[in-house]
């Protein structure tokens, strides 16, 4: 096993509570099962003075199995079962910790803002908020960022989450109710200043990100004032979308294509 890869695996197993010798023993048995403690020591680098104590502890934990005698041979807990066991243990510990922390008293409302930088980090947070939504999602998104969250939107719709989206792009399949925003005069400014992605989940979590400019960055918050502002911004664009649908030609004559004469005063 490459040194860097082995180090990463040992570090991750240490986070699960395994010491270096225990982790090396289990890894070695995954690569070559039904071998003796002496062979484990030889292949893994675990000192012979430590190997018998190590395998004894792992057998007692059910992580490896001892078979036969003279010499005893060891086999690992199958990887799938190993992962399942520790995933379940982690979830149980987190659930218990959550209950115990709640008992300490009422938790304060979160009114601060978390900042994220970089496209991957920002999209990861947006996906997380969508995945956690239980009742409703209100979004505003450009076509360029849609693929980054589309799978999560589909899953949310399958879980009966109500989804309303203002979409800056051509007609495409998006779950839920979709309002298409006109693009005339907006694409160039969005390229220069950034495209926005707004997500409001269950009226409790709000994400606002700027993509495509020199630096991609975003904010996540549960601040009610910020959420009201974001909701008003999306609602306004829904109104504009519907008004354009009914009165587009008349508005173009009066205010220019896609309200360009009005927007020019605020650029």
Question: Rounded to two decimals, what is the model's pTM?
Answer: 0.60
Q: State percent of the chain over pLDDT 90.
A: 54
Q: Please list the alpha-helical segments (H only) found in the chain.
A: 3-15, 20-31, 37-44, 48-61, 79-102, 119-132, 143-158, 187-193, 224-255, 260-263
What value does the CA radius of gyration of the chain take, rounded to a whole number of Å?
Answer: 28
The CB density around residue 225, as the number of other CB atoms within 10 Å, is 9
The domain 3-80 having CATH identifier 3.30.420.40: the answer here is no
Cα distance between residue 244 and residue 242, in whole Å: 5
- Of the chain, the percentage scoring pLDDT greater than 70 comes to 92
Distance CA 238, CA 198 (A): 13
Lowest-confidence pick of 6-15, 67-76, 183-192, 234-243: 183-192
Sign of CA dihedral 8, 11, 16, 21: positive
Lowest mean pLDDT among 74-78, 98-102, 227-231: 98-102
Q: Where in the chain is CATH 3.30.870.10?
A: 113-266
Tokens of 189: 């400014």
Query: Is 60 exceeded by the pLDDT of residue 6?
Result: yes
Mean pLDDT within 113-133: 92
Contacts of 157 (CB under 8 A, 6+ apart): 163, 175, 176
- pLDDT bucket at 109, cuts 50 / 70 / 90: low
Distance CA 251, CA 243 (A): 9
Q: Which two tokens stand for residue 115?
A: 């900042």
Contact (Cβ atoms closer than 8 angstroms) between residue 143 and residue 169 = yes
- C-alpha distance from residue 196 to each of 13, 141, 145 (Å): 39, 6, 9
pLDDT, residue 265, reads: 64
Residue 159 is given by DSSP the state T
Domain with CATH 1.10.10.10 in the chain: 3-80
The whole-number pLDDT of residue 205 equals 92
- Helices 20-31 & 3-15, crossing angle to 10 degrees? 120
Name 132's Cβ contacts closer than 8 Å, sequence gap at least 6: 201, 205
pLDDT in tens, 167-226: 998 878 899 999 988 877 677 667 777 889 999 999 989 999 999 767 889 999 989 899
Residue 250 has a pLDDT of 83
113-266 folds as Endonuclease; Chain A (3.30.870)
CA distance 226 to 231: 9
Grade residue 98 by pLDDT with cuts at 50, 70 and 90.
confident
pLDDT band for position 262 (cuts 50, 70, 90):
low
pLDDT tens figures, 21-34: 999 999 999 999 88
pLDDT band at 133 (very low <50, low <70, confident <90, very high): very high
Q: How crowded is residue 241: how many other Cβ atoms within 10 Å of its Cβ?
A: 16
What's the pLDDT band for 266 if we cut at 50, 70, 90? low
Q: Read off the tokens for 241.
A: 């979308």
CA angle 225, 238, 211 (to 5 degrees): 70
Contact, 234 vs 122, CB < 8 A?
A: no
Per the listing, tokens 């979409």 go with: 167
What's residue 162's pLDDT? 96
Of the pLDDT bands very low, low, confident and very high (cuts 50, 70, 90), residue 107 is: low
Q: What is the pLDDT of residue 263?
A: 66
User: What was the pLDDT predicted at 178?
Assistant: 93
Phi-psi region of 167 (alpha: psi -120 to 50; beta: other; left: phi over 0): beta
Number of neighbouring beta carbons within 10 Å of residue 5: 9
pLDDT grade, residue 106 (50/70/90)? low
């Amino acid at each position: 096993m490459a040194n860097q890869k082995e180090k990463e695996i040992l570090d991750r197993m240490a986070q699960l509570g395994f010491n270096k010798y225990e982790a090396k023993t289990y890894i070695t048995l995954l690569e070559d099962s039904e071998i003796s403690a002496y062979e484990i020591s030889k292949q893994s680098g675990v000192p012979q003075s430590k190997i018998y104590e190590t395998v004894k502890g792992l057998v007692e934990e059910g992580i490896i199995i001892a078979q036969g005698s003279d010499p005893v041979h060891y086999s690992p807990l199958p990887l799938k079962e190993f992962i399942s066991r520790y995933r379940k243990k982690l979830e149980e510990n987190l659930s218990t910790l959550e209950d115990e922390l709640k008992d300490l008293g009422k938790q304060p409302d979160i009114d601060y803002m978390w900042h994220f930088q970089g496209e991957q980090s920002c999209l990861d947070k947006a996906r997380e908020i969508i995945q956690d939504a239980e009742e409703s999602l209100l979004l505003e998104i450009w076509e360029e960022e849609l693929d980054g969250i589309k799978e999560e939107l589909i899953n949310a719709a399958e879980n009966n989450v109500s989804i309303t989206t203002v979409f800056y792009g051509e007609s495409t399949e998006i779950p839920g109710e979709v309002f298409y925003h006109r693009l005339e005069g907006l694409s160039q400014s969005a390229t220069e200043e950034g495209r926005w992605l707004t997500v409001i989940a269950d009226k409790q979590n709000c994400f606002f990100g700027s993509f495509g400019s020199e630096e991609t960055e975003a904010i996540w918050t549960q601040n009610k004032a910020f959420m009201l502002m974001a909701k008003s911004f999306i609602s306004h664009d829904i109104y504009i979308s519907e008004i354009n649908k009914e009165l587009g030609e008349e508005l173009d004559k009066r205010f220019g294509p896609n309200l360009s004469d009005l927007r020019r005063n605020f650029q």
